[in-house]
Amino acid sequence: MIAALLPGVGLGNKVPVLLDDGDDPLAAARRAALLAANLNAFAFDFVLRQKLQGQTINLFILEQLPVVAPAAFDAKLGKTTIADFVRGAVRPPFAWDEADRRRRMARLDALFMLLYGEARDDAAYILDTFPIVREKNEAAHGRYLTRELVLDYMDRLAAGDLAP
């Protein structure tokens, strides 16, 4: 699954579009950021691949898939809410840093594994079903770094450690 936030433009029938019908544009943008993070998580992608029979995600399939309930993002995670943890610190644009991006993505994937109720062993299994990610990691780092980071962050989040 590759989810993106797009401006109000015309799209073809190969792009399922989810719209927020709220009146407050800022609140809608905040909800959209949380939904995009959910839809791009390994846990969601794993579930999606169980239902998908090709490369096109029809809207009727997308609408049947489990997403984290919006209310779950209001729960506390340490001294912050899950929503604020997912959205991250609001700051000006910053230089691209591949290692930092990898860590941020792993933290989010770890959080979503926990939000989906996955135990560490189940998360390890789910991550093992992404052979292309594994191959690219092994080629670049000599090991399946994404899996290691996600599982490490799962342990840390479960213990209440929110540090990057």
Q: Is residue 89 part of a domain?
A: yes
Instruction: Note the pLDDT tens digit of each residue in 103-159.
Output: 999 999 999 999 999 999 999 999 999 999 999 999 999 999 999 999 999 999 999
Treating both helix axes as pointing N-terminal to C-terminal, what angle do 98-115 and 120-128 enclose, rounded to 10 degrees?
120
Helices (DSSP H) in the chain: which residue ranges? 25-39, 42-51, 59-62, 82-87, 98-115, 120-128, 131-141, 145-158
Q: Confirm if 51 and 62 have CB atoms less than 8 A apart.
A: no
Higher local confidence (pLDDT), 49 or 56: 49
Segments forming the whole domain that contains residue 57: 25-158
Q: How many domains, the chain?
A: 1
Residue type at position 13: N
Q: Is residue 77 part of a domain?
A: yes
Residue type at position 18: L
Chain mean pLDDT for the chain: 92
- The pLDDT value recorded for residue 88 is 86
Q: Is residue 4 part of a domain?
A: no
Residues in Cβ contact with 49 at an 8 Å cutoff, skipping those fewer than 6 apart: 129
Q: Is the pTM of this model over 0.85?
A: yes
Q: Is residue 151 part of a domain?
A: yes
Instruction: Note the pLDDT tens digit of each residue in 55-98.
Output: 888 888 888 999 999 999 999 998 899 999 999 866 788 899 99
Q: Is residue 18 part of a domain?
A: no
Question: Residue 123 is encoded by which pair of tokens?
Answer: 């998360």
Q: Is residue 8 part of a domain?
A: no
Q: Is residue 2 part of a domain?
A: no
